Amino acid sequence: MGLNVIVMGPPGAGKGTQAVRLASERGLPKISTGDILREAIRETSAVALGAKARMERGELVDDAAMIAIVAERLAKPDAGNGFVLDGFPRTVAQAQALDELIEQRGSGPLIVLDVAVPEHELVRRLASRRICSVCGANADPSSSATVCQKCGGQLAQRTDDDQGVVLERLRVYQRSTRPVLEYYRGRSAFRVVNGAQSPDQVAADLNAMVDDAAAARR
């Protein structure tokens, strides 16, 4: 049976980093809508550039576009045995569409992990976050390096990480994405992890929760 996992959490919670670790440890593809969008933006398509403008204002890309992107990605062979999703779903409509996709796939239950972090800590993290100007990778927050460890590109603050945009992104999250957590909260495979711990402890807790949730669905 496949293992289908969503890693959720507000901007700055570290869900992207944890999704990468979890996917690597479980031998699954880590699927990030942010990565897919950045790749399209580099190709300068009109739709992608419109999405970029919305993201830089702290807004969300529309449901129809995101659902289509994810459906296409989940149809690829490497996701046949499961996946780790980061950045999707962000609305109830997207969550409902994902449920339909999972049912069509017949590849196992959907495990939902919520990385919870207090707002004051999120603001602090986001204000100091840097990203590679070439490949889009997030820099290690504990490092003082000025170039990307992956490709050697220059590191810079994300255009959507200044304080005003950060606060707007958190408001958008509360307004649009928190209802998704309520949509999933009553399910037996829904788990919440304390994201204010060390990254290693968060990773250990997430792995334990995946095993526990998977066992509960058998």
Whether 15 is catalytic: yes
Whether 52 is catalytic: no
- Choosing from 26, 105, 129, 187, the catalytic residue is 129
Alpha helices (H) in 45-198, listed in sequence order:
46-56, 63-74, 92-105, 119-127, 163-172, 178-185
Whether 158 is catalytic: yes
Q: How far apart are CA 183 and CA 181, in angstroms?
A: 5
Q: How far apart are CA 116 and CA 10, in angstroms?
A: 8
- Choosing from 21, 30, 38, 158, the catalytic residue is 158
- Choosing from 15, 30, 38, 52, the catalytic residue is 15
Whether 175 is catalytic: no
- Choosing from 90, 125, 130, 191, the catalytic residue is 90
Q: How far apart are CA 56 and CA 49, in angstroms?
A: 11
Q: How far apart are CA 85 and CA 13, in angstroms?
A: 15
Active site residues: 15, 90, 129, 158, 169
